[in-house]
Structure 1
Amino acid sequence: MNEATLTYRGAVYPWHCDHMGHMNVMWYVGKFDEATWQLFTHLGLAPSRLRNDSAGMAAVEQHIEYRRELHAGDVLSIRSRILEVTEKAIRFCHEMVNDETGEVAATTTLVGVHLDTQMRKSKPLPSEVRERVQAWQAPA
């Protein structure tokens, strides 16, 4: 995908910080997860649609790089990009930025598989979702 989309804005609160005074890894993952749901909704995979279709998205792979510490009071944003779409899966990335300093705090790359929640197995992504991703990836 050529352009990253804003999928999260928020702040680091004191309860997000660990005994060393910086945001704990569980909160990085949580904020990335919130960005993921914004991204999926943008693609046409809103939670209500998934429920209605007896479908889901399962994370099968995640790689995180922690680059800069975040502390209580820091304001951050996450931008997301689609890297690849296959018949049943989406590979995407998020970049978390400290909005005050402009520094990248963390990045993550994930693979999510579309699945049938009743059969508990993967199934093809809806064609309009694949088409939306392809249109989004097309050069302007």
Structure 2
Amino acid sequence: MDSRLSRVTLRIRGYHLDGYGHVNNARYLEFMEEGRWGYFDDRPDVARLFASGNPALVAVNLNINYRLAAVAGDDLEVLTRLAELGGRSARMHQEIRRIRDGKVVADANLTFVLLDVKANQSLAIEGEYREALAPLVMGDEGVA
């Protein structure tokens, strides 16, 4: 697996399900959040840049596609990558796949900014932040 891609696995439990017996749509957001935490866990040097909480990485947009229903007992993997790095924002792409057949259950694009928490203003992604994030960009080409 490409080192710019992170993988977190989980098993669907009964408490993930809604009244229809499949994973509730809001749970996928939690699964993707877990994937993003895992992404930075895999990159402690990058995570240290944001450990103080200022600046913070703040989600400003999320677009999610629900493709297939996941049910109790399914093993899923959350694949997370930095797909794009702009001057003032960046985009992460995530896929949740069912492990047994590799089918995509959901996918999403999340745009984030660097936020100066004290000033409540977004910052340009430059200097040490750009140096840390730029090598992690994995565009859409060549991704299976």
TM-score of the aligned structures, taking structure 2 as reference length? 0.81
Question: What stretches of structure 2 of length at least 5 have no aligned partner?
Answer: 139-144
Q: 2:81 is matched with which residue?
A: 81
Q: Distance in 2 between matches of 1:126 and 1:16?
A: 39
Matches within 5 A, 1:56-67: 56-67=56-67
Q: Is the 8 A contact 1:98 1:105 kept in 2?
A: yes
Asked if 1:37 corresponds to 2:37, the answer is: yes
In the superposition, the TM-score normalised over structure 1's length comes to 0.83
Partner Cα separation in structure 1 for residue 67 and residue 14 of structure 2? 20
1:42-121 equivalence runs, <5 A:
42=43, 44-46=45-47, 49-52=49-52, 54-121=54-121
Residues 8-19 of structure 1 aligned to structure 2 (within 5 Å):
8-19=8-19
Unaligned runs of 5+ in 1: none
Distance 2:4 2:18 in 1: 30
Q: Check conservation: 1:16, 1:23, Cα contact below 8 A.
A: yes
Aligned residues: 136
Coordinate RMSD, CA, aligned = 2.3
Equivalent pair of 2:114/2:123 in contact (CA under 8 Å) = yes
The aligned runs of 1:123-138 (5 Å cut-off) are 123-125=123-125, 127-137=127-137
Task: Give 1:85 deviation, angstroms.
Answer: 0.7
* 8 Å Cα contact 1:3/1:81 also seen in 2: no
Identity of aligned pairs, percent? 25
The alpha-carbon deviation at position 3 of structure 1 amounts to 7.0
SS in structure 2 opposite 1:52? coil
* CA distance 1:4–1:99, shift in 2 (3 Å): farther
> 1:4: Cα distance to partner?
5.8
**Alpha-carbon contact 2:85-2:137 (below 8 Å) kept:** no
